[in-house]
Structure 1
Amino acid sequence: MSRRAIAGTVFGACAIGAAAHLLSQLVAPESAFTDVSQWFLMPLLAAGLALVTSAPRSRLVVSTLVALGFSWLGDTAPDLVDGDASFLVLVGFFLCAQLTYIVGFLPYRTASVLRTRPWVVGLYAVAVVAILAVCVSAAGILVVPMAVYASCLAAMAILATGVSRPAAIGAVLFVVSDALIAVRAFVDAELPAMGFWIMATYIAAQALIVRGVLTAHDQRVLQTQ
C-alpha cells in the first residue's frame, strides 16, 4: 500500500473520529468519551499530513505539523489542571500553535491580503477588537494574554490568505471557534450546543488548513519539476 493510500486511511479515521466526537458533543457533552475522543483528532490529522508528504519537508509542512502538535497539547493538557490555570494552559499552547503557523505562512505574505487587498486586514482587526470587547469586563488579569493571543490569531488568519483558499477559510473558522470560546468563558451566556459548535468550527479549521497546506505543497512540487 502506498504512503498516499495509508494517508487516505488515516484521514478517513480522523473524519470518523471527528464525527463520533461531534455526535458525543450533542448527546453527552460531559462524558469521558467526549474528552478522550478529542485527544486523537490532531495526531491523526498530523499523521495523515506526514504520510502524504516526504522528507525533506518544506518549512510550511513542518510548521503545520508542529502547530498541530501544540494544538494537541492545547486539547489535552488543560484536562490536567483546574480553574484559571486550565484556561491559561489552553491559551498558552494554542498561542504556540498560532506562532508556529505564522512562521510557516510568513513566506507567503506577498500573496496575502496584506499586499493584494490591504483593506481586508481591517476586518481581521475588527474581529480582534470584538473578541477583546467580549473578554475585557470579565477576564481580569487574563486580558493581557488574551490580547496577545487574539493579535497572533488575526496575524495567522491574514497570512493564511497567501497560502491557499482552503487555508484562508480554515483560519477564519479558527477565529470563529476561538470567539465562541471567549463567549463561553467570559460572558454569562451559554448558546445551544456551544461545545458542538466550538469543536465543529475548530476541527473544520484545522482540516482546511491542512488541506490548504497540501495544496500549496503540491503546487510547489509541480513548479520544481
Structure 2
Amino acid sequence: MSPSRFLLAVLVLAAAVDLASLAAGFDAGHTATKPLLMPLLAFWAVLRRAPRPLVAALLFGWGGDVLLLFDAEPAFLAGMASFAAGHVCYLILFARYGSRYTVPRTRAGLLALGYATALVTTVTLLWSGLPADLRLPVAAYSLLLTAMAYRAAIRLGLFAGLGGALFLLSDTLIATGAADWPQPPRPDFWIMLTYIAAQGLLACGTLGALNARRAPAATYGEMRAA
C-alpha cells in the first residue's frame, strides 16, 4: 500500500470513529479524534502534490476545529477567525489554480443569485437570535464563506462546488445553534458529517482538477520525448 493510500485509510478510520462517537454521545472519542482529521487530510494532500494554499486552508480548518472544542465565546470567535483565514486561502487557491470556464456564464450568474439570496435570507433570519456581539462577526464570516462556496463551484467544478455548499450547510447549522433555533437530534453529528465531507470534497476536487490539467502536458512531453 502506498503512503497516500495508507494515510487515506487512517483518515477514513478517524472520521468514522469521530462520527460514531458523536452519534453515541461519547464526548471523549470526539475530543480525541476531531483534532486528527484535518492534519491527516493535509498530509495526504501534500503527498498528492497539493498546492500550498490548499494545505494552508486545511491547517486553518484544524485550528478552528481545536478552538471550537472549547465551550466559550472567545474560543468560538477565535475558531471562526481561523476558519475565515482558511476561506481566504481557498479563495487564493481558486484564483491561482481555477479555470474561468468551468461553469457557463449564465449558470454562474444563476448560482451567484442563489448564493446571494441564501446569504441575505440566512443572516436576516438569524440576526435577532444571535448575541449582539456575534452579529457582525457572523455576518462578515457568512459573506466570506458564501464567496468561497461560490468560487469553488465556478472555478474548480462539481466536486469542489459540492464541498463549498456542504461547508456552508455545516456552518449554517452551527449558526442556528448559536441563535437557539430548534436543532435536529445529535446536531454535532450532522455538523461534523457535512464538514468532513466538505473539506474532503474541496481537497479532492482541487487535486482532481489540477491532475486533469497536468495530464495533457505530460502526454505532450511524452510525445516530444518519443
Question: TM-score scaled by structure 1?
Answer: 0.89
After TM superposition, give the deviation of residue 147 of structure 1 in Å: 1.3
- 2:16 is aligned with 1:7: no
Match of 1:91 among 61, 80, 95: 80
Q: Distance in 2 between matches of 1:68 and 1:194?
A: 23
Match of 1:45 among 41, 45, 61: 41
Q: Distance in 1 between matches of 2:103 and 2:176?
A: 28
Q: Distance in 2 between matches of 1:85 and 1:114?
A: 42
Q: Distance in 2 between matches of 1:85 and 1:125?
A: 29
Q: Distance in 2 between matches of 1:90 and 1:112?
A: 32
2:60 aligned residue: 70
Which sections of structure 2, spanning at least 5 residues, go unmatched?
A: 219-226
After TM superposition, give the deviation of residue 190 of structure 1 in Å: 2.6
Counterpart AA for 2:9: G
Q: Distance in 1 between matches of 2:195 and 2:75?
A: 19
2:100 aligned residue: 110
- 2:151 is aligned with 1:159: yes
Q: Distance in 2 between matches of 1:112 and 1:218?
A: 15
Which sections of structure 1, spanning at least 5 residues, go unmatched?
A: none
Q: Distance in 2 between matches of 1:125 and 1:32?
A: 39
Counterpart AA for 2:178: A
Question: TM-score scaled by structure 2?
Answer: 0.88
1:202 aligned residue: 195
After TM superposition, give the deviation of residue 114 of structure 1 in Å: 8.1
- What do residues 175-201 of structure 1 show as CA deviations (whole Å, max 9, x unaligned)? 110111111111242321211100000
Counterpart AA for 1:110: R
1:27 aligned residue: 24
Q: Secondary structure at the match of 1:40?
A: helix
Q: Distance in 1 between matches of 2:125 and 2:191?
A: 16
Moved more, 106-115 or 88-97: 106-115
- What do residues 61-117 of structure 1 show as CA deviations (whole Å, max 9, x unaligned)? 21110000000000012445x522121012111111111101101242623558352
Q: Secondary structure at the match of 1:12?
A: helix
- 2:206 is aligned with 1:217: no
